[in-house]
Structure 1
Amino acid sequence: MTRWLLLRGLSREKRHREQFPQIREHTILAQTANNPDLDLDALARRWAQYLQSQRPSSAGVVRQIAAAVTFRMPRHIDTPLLILTALRDRIVSSSASHAIATRYGAPIAVHPTAGHDIPLDDGARIAEQVKHWIG
């Protein structure tokens, strides 16, 4: 009986380990996307597959974290900027985007319903805004 319980537990652990990447991606999508028409399960599966085939190195992850922690905005940017933000972003307040736009004198396009991943929620609108800005 004890051996059977151990094997059953190992089997459950293996299933959990195999499903974890998809669960993690689904959790991220639930925080970053607001479009109710998105199939979050299908996206999570696809992104988990991408992660397994293109796994970032540990050193790369550390570099990304270090860059995020130490980043300082430059005083001046010579490149024309269009700032995109979303009112329903649950990761970064749109007030941060407004502050960036003000600092650099850049126009800002505000999406009323998108989440943090604006192109995922409404890519067509982003394309139109960029086209208009370039135009």
Structure 2
Amino acid sequence: MHWILLRGLTREHAHWGVLPERLRDAFPQHKFHAVDLPGTGTRFRETSPWTVPAIREAVQKQVGHIPGPFGLIALSMGAMIAVDWAQHARSGEIQHLILINTSSGFNRPWHRLKPRTWPTLLRLLTLRDLREREAQVVALTSNRQLNPATVQRWYSIQAQRPVSASNAMRQLTAAARYRPMKERPMPEALLLASKGDRIVDWRCSEALAERWQWTMRLHPDAGHDLPLDDPDWLIGEITRYINGTQVAA
């Protein structure tokens, strides 16, 4: 099976870190593709659409050469795009859905983006010092001790493939406006959330799990960037989910 990995606001394929390689090691019979959203990564020169459905359509065109069915692993705003994809997919097109630290229009605004984060995000949008900006992004999204190597890596990513302020604002607007349709897109999916997430309240994932009767697993202390803070835990939960659904099928 081919898996599509989607990151969140202003992040790109390289921000997954070790996760794609770890997934390939765990599932050598599967293919994993870390795909960039318009305005980020290899597509940083493009203009990001203003809405999640339009971003989803752009992603679908980008992976049009990859044969389905697909599994989707998606983080934060990427998970909104994954849900929208699943709700508009052809029958059988999406086989697995794994959503990490996501939210939707079903949740209260102050749960989707915690109020104490608002001033920080606004400051980051206008901060000109790229290295300092990336250091603050790492500090905001991770609950681990600040790693200079991670800051340097993220600085290098943005220096090579910069996300413009206008594209960041477009993505933020798309995420804020997104509200999925009421119908459950799949009978089963896995929601992974971090109790220590300082950007999105973990209860957003809980609400979605209860609404659509999906499986949820809660990490006790990781930050918003769960793949960065605890890739071992993430790989373990994904492995249990995939192996369990394969057995059930």
Counterpart position of 1:52: 159
Q: Which residue of 2 aligns with 1:9?
A: none
Letter in 2 for 1:75: K
1:62 positional shift: 3.9
Tell me if 1:108 matches 2:216.
Answer: yes
Q: Distance in 2 between matches of 1:30 and 1:58?
A: 20
What CA distance in whole angstroms lies between the structure 1 residues aligned with 2:242 and 2:194? Answer: 20
Matched, 1:83 2:191: yes
Runs of at least 4 residues off by over 3 Å: 57-60
Corresponding residue for 1:119?
A: 227
The answer to whether the aligner puts 1:29 opposite 2:138 as a matched pair is yes
Deviation at 1:44, TM superposition (A): 1.4
2:139 corresponds to which letter in structure 1? A
Residue segments in structure 1 that go unaligned for 5+ positions in a row: 1-16
Deviation at 1:77, TM superposition (A): 3.2
Q: CA deviation at 1:134?
A: 1.3
Superposed displacement of residue 73, structure 1? 2.2
> How big is the shift at 1:60?
3.2
Change (3 A) 1:122 1:101: same
Mean CA deviation greater in 115-124 or 70-79: 70-79
> What TM-score results when the alignment is normalised by the length of structure 2?
0.43
CA 62–115 in structure 1, closer or farther in 2 if over 3 Å, else same: closer
Q: Deviations over 1:67-124 (max 9, x none)?
A: 1121002212323321111111111111111111111111111000101111100011
CA distance in 1, matches of 2:193, 2:134: 22
> Partners of 2:178 and 2:225 in 1: how far apart?
21
Tell me how far 1:57 sits from its aligned partner. 4.4
CA distance in 1, matches of 2:197, 2:168: 24
The gaps in structure 2 that reach 5 residues or longer are 1-127, 244-249
Q: Structure 2 counterpart of 1:124, which letter? A: D
Name the CA distance, whole Å, in 2 between partners of 1:58 and 1:90: 22
Greater radius of gyration (CA): 1
Q: Percent of pairs identical after alignment?
A: 32
| Aligned mates of 2:152, 2:203 — CA distance in 1 | 33
Distance (Å, rounded) in 2 between the aligned partners of 1:85 and 1:62: 25
SS at match of 1:83: strand
TM-score, length-normalised on structure 1?
0.76
CA drift of 1:43 comes to 1.2
Q: In the aligned structure 2, how far is the partner of 1:33 from the partner of 1:62?
A: 22
Instruction: Return closer, same or farther for 1:57/1:32 CA change in 2, 3 Å cut-off.
Output: closer
Distance in 2, Cα, partners of 1:52 & 1:104: 41
Map 1:86-101 → 2, pairs under 5 A: 86-101=194-209
Q: Does 1:68 align with 2:68?
A: no
1:58 Cα offset (Å): 5.2
**Greater share of residues in helix:** 1
